[in-house]
Amino acid sequence: MDAPPFVVEESGDTITGRAPEVSVKILRALRNGEPPVKARLDLHGRLRDEAVHGVERFVAAARARGARTALVIHGRGHNSEAGGPVLRPAIWQWLQSPAASRAGVMAFASARPGDGGAGATVMLLRR
């Protein structure tokens, strides 16, 4: 069986994940806003599958423009009709998958409060 593409820690409304070759120090810097976010995508109002496909396209476009970090705003799920968050779990599931690794995601973390907190996730992208 293949090793998982990311070492992931979830705690309540927060998540962190890193590829095995990414140090904890780099993940800590990402959580603290370094390097600064260069691309943003707001998923509010999108359906689950549309949001996941949108993130895949967004990551590819951000990398093509040379962005090193990207922020996905998925919300906390307070306005979801399904009885709980829909987009955040879907994005987190994608981020933990081999598809995210293939797309160029190296690490990810819940955003700082000023960038959306638990309603957004920041990603470190391969060059």
CATH number at 70 reads 3.30.1370.110
If you search the block for the tokens 């979801």, which residue do you land on? 80
- pLDDT at residue 92, rounded to an integer: 95
> What distance in Å separates the CA atoms of residue 42 and residue 59, rounded to the nearest whole number?
13
- Strand runs labelled E in the chain: 7-11, 14-18, 39-42, 69-73, 105-110, 120-125
- pLDDT at residue 79, rounded to an integer: 62
Question: Could you read off the pLDDT of 10-37 as tens digits, one per residue?
Answer: 998 899 999 999 999 999 999 999 999 9
Q: Which structural domain, as residue segments, surrounds residue 48?
A: 7-125
Question: Could you read off the pLDDT of 69-115 as tens digits, one per residue?
Answer: 999 999 886 666 666 678 999 999 999 999 999 999 999 999 999 99
1 inside domain: no
Alpha carbon 122 to chain centroid distance?
Answer: 5
Q: Is the pLDDT of residue 1 over 70?
A: no
Mean pLDDT, the chain, integer:
92
- pLDDT at residue 127, rounded to an integer: 87
117 inside domain: yes
80 inside domain: yes
2 inside domain: no
88 inside domain: yes
- pLDDT at residue 126, rounded to an integer: 94
Give me the number of domains the chain comprises: 1
